[in-house]
Structure 1
Amino acid sequence: MKQKKTFLALIASFNLAANYAHPITPAYFKLLGLDSAMFGYAFSVMSLGMFLGSPFFGKLAESFRSKVLMAWGCLGYALAQVLFAIGHTPALILWGRLLAGFACGSFFVGALNYIANTSTAKERGANLTLNAAVQTVFGALGYFVGGMLGTYDLYWAFALQIGQLFFTGVAFYLLLGPDLTAQKAPDIKEAVRSLNFFSSFSTKDAQLSQSLWILLGVSALTFLGYTSFDQSFNYYLKDVFDLATSYNGSFKGAVGLISLVATMTLGMYLVKQTDLNKSTTYILFICAFFMGAVCLASGLTSFFALNLIFYGFYAISVPMVQDLITKQATPTTQGTVLGFYQASQSFGRIIGAFIAGLLYDVNVLGPFILGSLAFLIAAIGVKIYQK
């Protein structure tokens, strides 16, 4: 993989900035006097943007270099956060979230295509694992920085985020070399058609095998479960324990360290040395177990401890599922398949965030139970895929 250090440094910068606002969002919504379900609706709308945008940018990835897609994603996210920060009404906030999701679709499709285009088949799994580790660690560090800034002024986090996203986008375009040797003229009509996610499956180059359908379902379930869990966790700390944003940020910082160790040791070993079909099933079962155990936590200490274990195993599972799906793509369908993969994530996020918002109002532990069941079904899905 060419320019690996530059690529990973820029991935780290994006994930740092992208997470500055997350730990302050519950406090921001409370400051604006918004309903408690708003956190679920906002994330659900953002995920809808990713859901619509991922197949679109997956199609454009056949014609545009990956660094262009990543630059667009950074700049679009920066603009979206301007709307989020100045929009003090639900309508403006949701429009900002929709644009943020669309921009993230461009960024993450570009990142996965860059890895696939510049890696050999032998090193692809390791590079996906390394990319996931960087995203997890620096995403968690972004939580920490944002949470600390939020204790002084919520808008400091927004200001730093917008500026860093802008400069990171420019750096992607200027510093990364090309990942495509031959480019074809963009089929804008087909790309626009792919905004309709379901009709885009009928295109000739996107006929998916039964195996890939199952894996896309597994991806959607894991992100449904994780989103239901993670979004509720952020709000739970503020709502139930009334903890300051710094606690949320500090915990996510600890999550980053544990995820790094877990991914670079056990995760790398599983990707390189084991049958991914079997090991992915086991990891997803473990995720389901510890997420369900959170519901039985008797105090704050055990609640944090069980959450840390879950986040560590979840970080391991992400590149494993990515590698299984990437192996299903051919050179001609790679951009399309990876676009569908990102869309499956977004679909899971939409459902997970929306239902979590509804369940939380009924029972604060409801989203955690939903998440555990989603991971359990995902594990069964990988078992079915093996056959």
Structure 2
Amino acid sequence: MASVPAVPASEASAPSLKISTKDSPSNGVAECIPSFKAADAVIELAPTRKPKPDLTNLAFGSVFTDHMLTIEWTSAGGWQAPQICPFNNLSMHPACSALHYAIQLFEGMKAYRGPGGVVQLFRPMLNMKRMLRSAQRACLPSFDEAELLECIRRLVEVDQDWVPQSDSASLYIRPTFLGTEPSLGVKRPSCALLYVILSPVGSYFSTGAKPVSLWADSKYIRAWRGGTGDCKMGGNYGASIYAQYEAVDYGCQQVLWLYGEDHQITEVGTMNLFLYWINENGEEELATPPLDGIILPGITRQSILELTRKWGVFKVSERHLTMADLQCALKENRVKEMFGSGTACVVSPVDRVLYQGENLNIPCLGDFPPLASRLLKELSDIQYGRTPSDWVFPV
């Protein structure tokens, strides 16, 4: 099918771009960033559509929709017009800087189908802001976050039939940004490609919604201060795979990454981590490691902090936690729950941590203990439109 111009944003029938003030830039001043414009998007529809998959045994990120979004950039010509086109393979030079020097980053977000078939995104502007921060760290070009979000909205709108009719499945959105400089020189790339692909997904873990076990060992380090641990870059994950397989060899599902001589608790595999306990001062507390440059600023993490602070039921802290803190609290029966959070899993309870040859059993009443259950329900109700919220963005 021939390419046709997209409908300008001012004439589109879809909702206009509305961003929650909670998720907007803090200074309230719009920046003039040289960027592509969603209104310039060109849409080429696929001549045939692929059959939709059975969600029952769908492996995470294994099936993709009919279309994708691509936006090219060069230092000489700037950003080109966004293209929504049939899903296809990329073609790149063998000396592409993303392949040789990992000048690459990505994001992860979801589209959910709510009551009446309405499709919506969950706090997508936070993903856009995080992606821009990662791009700056990777020396990739800046862009207008609102324009990218509108491009993604249009892509999801084109493939909206792929958003599952299920309250346990969703459409995973993977924006990716690559340096495509055809040179072996280690430098800021002179050309780049930003693209977005979509994948219908069910549960992230093969075991479904059940507690996970963690292998905690200081043998490997995920991130360090001054590094890129707070950016969503592929290299952070690729370098973790070896340790992940070692964790499996020890009978655990995920790696609990430690840092420093005092074995500070940082992240869990693809998740942020929370400890719900009675702290050393006798206070009921929900604690998670602080954003000190090592921790990825998760959107679900931020949402859990904001929700629980609004409840006002217990103390909510961003603070350093060590394995010694956890061991002591377990011995004194002060641990209530431990769970991970992330876009893919939402909330995932932890029932065991293997540390220095000892299994630390975490209290876990049933598959989902009370706090994790409440958080999962409240977040899911917002994501799937059962609870009205300014955190959702309609497609």
TM-score norm. by structure 1 comes to: 0.25
Q: Which has the higher helix share?
A: 1
More RCO (CA 8 Å, sep 6+): 1
Q: Which has the higher strand share?
A: 2
Bigger-Rg structure (1/2): 2
